[in-house]
């Protein structure tokens, strides 16, 4: 099925409202990347989301979009609280998969000669790979405390500071979490995975800041040219996956019961005001809090490794959190819609919040600058730090892209990598890589992803976020 697209400007393409669509679709991209986007069912999924009850304004997709479960990855959609729905497909299986960035006073000339030693130490300290388990074992009481407290649970156990919480989206804790709606199966899956990286596109990346675009914002974020930073990209592990899977079954039945016509069973949903819809949000919040605790713990261990490898004091290293952002979440937020301020439910799946200076949801530490936005690329090129804008608040409910976005499926990537040594190719670029999975390097090779520079140029040009800095990888751990 070919979806008609109408070009609005250099960065915006509209899917006109047809059939049972309640609103138009809106895709942010440029003409060159549009060709890749049209190779899969992503645009069809944008149109399908536009048929859901209570959707507001547009069904949207960012330039890193590609086919996903129900919603496209890169999808953004907001729903009225009275007439609208919540859909697990609009959040994804890896609830609160997100990215965390740390800055240091170290420079590349000191880290590059030690990169193999550093990455090896990180790999030995932070479990990675499919089904990986960590050293933290939770009893039922402690696990439920994690689901409610989020990153604060780790901070209370000396694995971080109050300052870390101030630099984390929602201060590392989502309100409304209720462990009572989480299945025993989900609890079991999450019991020994706290402090683990996981598999797939999850990673820890040691990088150097190569270019600064906005000196004021970069200074506020603690970034400087030549400075070494660390990205941590992970989520809610098996617990989040199971919570999503459990509620997809429940909400599929609710959609049928309520007479909600969905064009794809993967768009299972429930009215936001229904008990099942509220239960999903409460379970999703549990997974989100687990993910924040998970990244907080990994950051603490990462800091310890750096201190050990470089035999430096915390004061000398000045290794601190820049920010932590969600990529997969649904949130009740206050936005202006048709000239009126109201609470709505914003789904961001493979999309990042983008809030401007002065917004009350931006923590005080960055309120005068705007919210930091972290855009990881592939492990062979670079990543970006952006800052939120008024344009995103007005047009996309405060949303922007979240990464480079795939152009090859994992199966296609493995096939394309046959006969090649991705590890040696990366080493030839000066990037030392270790992995916890047999096929991880092939599945996640740079060729499997879009050009992150182009993706960022689209959101920068469209006014959805503003470029602050670009980084280049020195060493990577892939899940």
Residue 212: phi, psi to the nearest 5?
-115, 130
Question: Measuring CA to CA, which residue among 245, 252, 288, 249 is closest to residue 270?
Answer: 252
CA–CA distances in Å: residue 87 to residues 79, 148, 226, 269: 10, 22, 43, 4
Q: Which of 58, 233, 327, 402 is catalytic?
A: 402
Distance CA 189, CA 210 (A): 40
Distance CA 89, CA 247 (A): 10
Question: Angle at CA 96, nearest 5°, toward 413 and 227?
Answer: 75
Residue 464: phi, psi to the nearest 5?
-85, -15
Distance CA 456, CA 449 (A): 13
Residue 132: phi, psi to the nearest 5?
-60, 145
Alpha helices in 86-183 (DSSP H): 108-111, 115-125, 140-149, 151-155, 162-166
Beta bridge partners of 332: 345
Distance CA 230, CA 402 (A): 17
- Label residue 213 left, alpha or beta by phi (over 0 means left) and psi (-120 to 50 means alpha): alpha
CA–CA distances in Å: residue 81 to residues 61, 78, 330, 331: 21, 9, 12, 11
Distance CA 264, CA 68 (A): 12
Q: Strand, helix or coil at 419?
A: coil
CB half-sphere exposure, 379, CA atoms < 13 A: 31
Q: Residues in the chain, how many?
A: 479
What lies within 8 Å, CB to CB, of 163 at 6+ separation is: 320, 321
Is-catalytic flag, 402?
yes
Q: Are strands 465-478 and 432-435 parallel, antiparallel or unpaired?
A: parallel
Beta bridge partners of 130: none
Contact 204, 376 (CB under 8 A): no
Contact 103, 208 (CB under 8 A): no
What lies within 8 Å, CB to CB, of 253 at 6+ separation is: none
Contact 381, 446 (CB under 8 A): yes
List active site positions.
402
């Amino acid at each position: 099925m070919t979806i008609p697209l109408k070009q609005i400007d250099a960065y915006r393409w509209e899917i006109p409202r047809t059939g049972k669509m309640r609103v138009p679709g809106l895709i942010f991209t440029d003409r060159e990347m549009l060709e890749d986007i049209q190779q899969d069912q992503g645009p069809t999924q944008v149109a399908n989301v536009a048929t859901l009850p209570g959707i507001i304004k547009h069904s949207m997709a960012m330039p890193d979009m590609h086919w996903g479960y129900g919603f496209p990855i890169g999808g953004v959609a907001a729903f009225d609280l009275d007439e609208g729905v919540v859909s697990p497909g609009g959040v994804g299986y890896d609830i609160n998969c997100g990215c965390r960035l740390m800055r240091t006073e170290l420079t590349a000339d000191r880290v590059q000669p030690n990169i193999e030693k550093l990455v090896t130490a990180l790999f030995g300290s932070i479990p990675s790979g499919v089904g990986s388990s960590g050293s933290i074992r939770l009893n039922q009481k402690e696990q439920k405390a994690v689901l409610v407290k989020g990153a604060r649970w780790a901070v209370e156990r000396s694995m971080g500071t109050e300052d870390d919480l101030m630099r984390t989206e929602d201060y590392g804790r989502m309100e409304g979490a209720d462990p009572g709606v989480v299945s025993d199966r989900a609890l079991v899956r999450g019991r020994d995975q706290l402090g683990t990286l996981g598999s797939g596109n999850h990673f820890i990346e040691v990088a150097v800041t190569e270019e600064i675009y906005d000196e004021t914002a970069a200074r506020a974020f603690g970034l400087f040219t030549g400075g070494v930073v660390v990205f941590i990209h992970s989520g809610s592990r098996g617990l989040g996956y199971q919570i999503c899977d459990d509620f997809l079954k429940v909400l599929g039945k609710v959609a049928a019961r309520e007479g909600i016509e969905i064009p794809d069973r993967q768009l299972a949903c429930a009215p936001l005001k229904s008990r099942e819809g509220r239960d999903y949000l409460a379970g999703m919040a549990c997974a989100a809090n687990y993910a924040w605790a998970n990244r907080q713990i990994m950051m603490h261990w990462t800091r310890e490794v750096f201190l050990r490898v470089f035999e430096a004091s915390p004061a000398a290293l000045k290794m601190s959190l820049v920010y932590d952002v969600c990529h997969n979440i649904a949130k009740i937020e206050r936005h202006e819609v048709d000239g009126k301020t109201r609470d709505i439910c914003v789904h961001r799946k493979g999309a990042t919040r983008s809030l401007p200076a002065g917004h009350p949801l931006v923590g005080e530490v960055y309120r005068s600058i705007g919210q930091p936005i972290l855009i990881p690329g592939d492990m062979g090129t670079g990543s970006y730090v952006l800052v939120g804008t008024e344009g995103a608040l007005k047009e996309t409910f405060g949303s922007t892209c979240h990464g480079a976005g795939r152009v090859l499926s994992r199966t296609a990537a493995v096939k394309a990598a046959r006969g090649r040594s991705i590890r040696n190719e990366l080493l030839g670029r000066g990037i030392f890589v270790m992995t916890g999975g047999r096929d991880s390097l092939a599945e996640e090779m740079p060729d499997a992803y879009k050009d992150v520079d182009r993706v960022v140029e689209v959101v920068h040009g469209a006014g959805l976020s503003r470029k602050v800095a670009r980084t280049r990888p020195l060493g990577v751990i892939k899940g």
